[in-house]
Structure 1
Amino acid sequence: MSEVFSVPQANDDQDPDLARARDGDDAAFTRLVGPLRGELHAHCYRMLGSPHDADDALQDALLRAWRGLRGFEGRSSLRSWLYTVATRTCLDSVTGRGRRAMPMDLGPSSEQAVLGDAPLTEVAWLAPYPDDHLERREAVELAFVAALQHLPPNQRAALLLFEVLGYSAAEIATMMDTTATSVNSALARARKVVARKVPGPTQQATLSKLGDARLREIVHGFAGALERGDAGALVALLTEDVTWSMPPLPHWYHGLDAVTDFAVKVPLSSCGSWRHRFTTANGQPAVASYLRGGGDGPFEAWSIGVLTLRGDLISEVSSFLGAGHFTRLGLPASLS
């Protein structure tokens, strides 16, 4: 991929920090990019499907921007130029790493609970994302980010730059070093895939209609059923076609019978005692699950269950296993 710094951009009203940064003042550069770090990180996450990969990509992008700042000619905004750098950095990264997956991408669902399911560590799994401070939460919803992973990198970038960030096809062509015709073609193909994989309203629309009080009632009902081992209360909250997945475990379950069998045999009976905290991830309600396997020790971080709702029922549970997800979401590693 060609270096981004040949792309002419930016006019930021002769910001004195810009002049200082061009002269090698790294503190001035930090002040310039600071207000944009959050949205650039979210863009990298949407491109790569992993907060950790987004960390690496943003760090690399800002290093490229710092080194190439003298080539920033001032024909459009600094923000646009930084998005160009970040997009091209992500395109370089995703070409080498491939796409992030969910268990549904690997094979058919299991009809009964698989006991002793072992993590599949050779797969690059999609990971949840903290959504505090994000203005457009629908742009990091789990189904949308998962759908993006099925797009070729150029289509993924074009769709995000157009639909999420509002750049024109001509602007995207400059940012991606291609033609407007190619961008429009990529957009058309990408929209078909995303429309097929993300039908219906966004979670933001569903949650807005539901209201905060009812949402908390559902989430606390879900968590309480798990803590009590109450299968009936849990099932009452689920749609008939509910799915439950647990990356990095490869098996997943679809439909009320299969999900109920899994829930009864695994989290409700064979794991131990649970405690839960309400949180959010990917612009959706989530349950942080802490497990105590036995004895009187603390409850240890176990999984972040991102809930997808249809109406006032849960249509999908995506339980991301691993204490590292708790750190990312600002949650404690254990509960007493």
Structure 2
Amino acid sequence: MGDATTGIDEPTDLRLEAFRAELTGYCYRMLGSAFEAEDAVQETMIRAWRGFDRFEGRAALRSWLYRIATNVCLTMLGSAQRRARPMDLGPPGTPGSGPGEPLPAEVWVGPVPDSRVTAGDPAEVAVARESIRLAFVAALQHLPARQRAVLILREVLAWSAAEVAELLDTSVASVNSALQRARAALAGADLDGETLRATDPAQSDLLERYVRAFEGYDIAALTSLLHEDVTLNMPPLPLWLRGPADIRGWMLGTGCGCRGSRLVPTVANGMPAFGQYRTTGPWALIVLDVSAGRIRGITNFLDVQRLFPLFGLPMRLDG
């Protein structure tokens, strides 16, 4: 791995900051939380800055920073429970089910703005977006921490087995074994989906139809856009629903408070997202997952007090 920063006169903090976005993406995949990822990267930067005089270019700066970040993440994961999605915690509910008691933020895989974790040329950004999809990040949380690191470094970041072995202070054989086990563990995960491109007319049309149906509360039109296996979940509530019929029943019943909402577009986890504003104020960050031209997953993150500022969404709409 070549060192992307070669200017020896460049201030240390600028050399380190050049890696912030990709390190945040790495830590987010490891930890499943944008907030914890930013904490991990900040700790990485502090350790790197303090130890920079001892670094002396003995290894590529990028590799050295990833070693620090990996150690920070492994320490954070040592005392943390595995983050999950509502679908991991129990069977689907019905339109008449109660939402359940909210669970703490640390239970859930959270969303991340693309801008915090993507940088570089368009090809690198495309790979990064695909590998931060909610389903993929949630699947990673099922892996032991070191397996998780191996899979991300080998499969997402395209490091060689020798480079990963050096970073983790282990053997190439151990890295290859861990990668094989990680691949097997993810083989059964439901990772179908597409990374939407705003420039694709078909994708733009789908999103326009979604916004029009949602804001007009045309539930027939809305459900016509849904995949037959669509899921709806609402962290921090444990309830989740499967199928257009149950989602229709929910939105016409318990969820009818969404009538009259307005949507403001954004992007989360490489997928289209919207800030949802009910008539009473900000309500949810909606993240869509798409498969075969239909919406296959709808995640409504309800922690708007933390998430809207993270995504640059206003806490109130004028007009």
TM-score clears 0.5 = yes
1:186 is matched with 178
Cα deviation, 1:73-123, whole Å, max 9, x if unaligned, reads 424310111011111111111112222111011111113343454312275
Aligned mate of 2:297, from 307, 311, 316:
316
Cα deviation, 1:32-62, whole Å, max 9, x if unaligned, reads 1121111111111111011110111111111
2:230 aligned counterpart, secondary structure: strand
1:203 aligns with 2:199: no
Return the TM-score normalized by structure 2: 0.89
1:303 aligns with 2:295: no
1:333 aligns with 2:315: yes
Cα deviation, 1:180-206, whole Å, max 9, x if unaligned, reads 111111101111222321444x523xx
Shift of 1:257: 2.1
Measured in 1, the distance between the counterparts of 2:162 and 2:173 equals: 9
2:114 is matched with 131
Say if 1:284 and 1:308, in contact at 8 Å, map to a contact too. yes
The percentage of aligned residue pairs carrying the same residue is 41
Measured in 2, the distance between the counterparts of 1:40 and 1:56 equals: 11
Return the TM-score normalized by structure 1: 0.85
Aligned mate of 1:286, from 242, 252, 273:
273
1:3 is matched with none
Measured in 1, the distance between the counterparts of 2:146 and 2:225 equals: 39
Measured in 1, the distance between the counterparts of 2:4 and 2:253 equals: 61
Say if 1:144 and 1:194, in contact at 8 Å, map to a contact too. no
1:140 is matched with 132
C-alpha change, 1:13 and 1:242, in structure 2 (3 Å) is: closer
Measured in 1, the distance between the counterparts of 2:75 and 2:216 equals: 48
Which ranges of structure 1 fall in alignment gaps of 5 or more residues? 1-8, 18-27, 294-299
C-alpha change, 1:14 and 1:117, in structure 2 (3 Å) is: closer
2:231 is matched with 243
1:297 is matched with none
1:88 aligned counterpart, secondary structure: helix
Shift of 1:266: 3.1
1:15 aligns with 2:2: no
Aligned mate of 1:232, from 202, 210, 220:
220
Measured in 1, the distance between the counterparts of 2:104 and 2:4 equals: 46
2:46 is matched with 63
Measured in 2, the distance between the counterparts of 1:334 and 1:49 equals: 28
Which amino acid in the other structure matches residue 156 of structure 2? Answer: V
Aligned mate of 2:203, from 210, 215, 230:
215
1:253 aligns with 2:241: yes
2:290 aligned counterpart, secondary structure: strand
1:80 is matched with 63
**1:39-54 equivalent positions in 2, closer than 5 A:** 39-54=22-37
Q: Which has the larger radius of gyration?
A: 1
Measured in 2, the distance between the counterparts of 1:11 and 1:303 equals: 39
Measured in 1, the distance between the counterparts of 2:96 and 2:275 equals: 22
1:262 is matched with 250
Stretch moving more, 216-225 or 104-113: 216-225
Say if 1:289 and 1:305, in contact at 8 Å, map to a contact too. yes
Stretch moving more, 222-231 or 151-160: 222-231
